[in-house]
Amino acid sequence: MILPRPIYSGLLYAAVPAAMLYLYKRSRKQPQYLEHWSERFGTAHYPPRTKGRTRIWIHAVSVGETRA
């Protein structure tokens, strides 16, 4: 079954508070979860580009895989 885009988007936005609550509860056991909070929701701020340096974007299934 394929959901129309507005329904899918609405369900996704409705699930965000539950995901935030889950991550907050998990961070009580593992405080490192709060260190990268903005990255989990796509609002991270990175340093500006510098002339002569190339920025490479790496996409992986999880941040843990990238760090490994």
pLDDT for 14 equals 94
pLDDT tens-digit map of 7-65:
989 999 999 999 889 988 988 998 887 887 887 787 877 778 888 888 887 766 776 66
Between CA 14 and CA 9 the distance in angstroms is: 9
pLDDT range class, residue 68, cuts 50, 70, 90: low
What lies within 8 Å, CB to CB, of 37 at 6+ separation is 23
pTM of the model: 0.55
Between CA 5 and CA 2 the distance in angstroms is: 9
Residue-by-residue DSSP string for 8-45:
HHHHHHHHHHHHHHHHHHHHHH-GGGGTTHHHHTT---
Domain limits, the chain: 1-45
Between CA 36 and CA 44 the distance in angstroms is: 8
pLDDT range class, residue 66, cuts 50, 70, 90: low
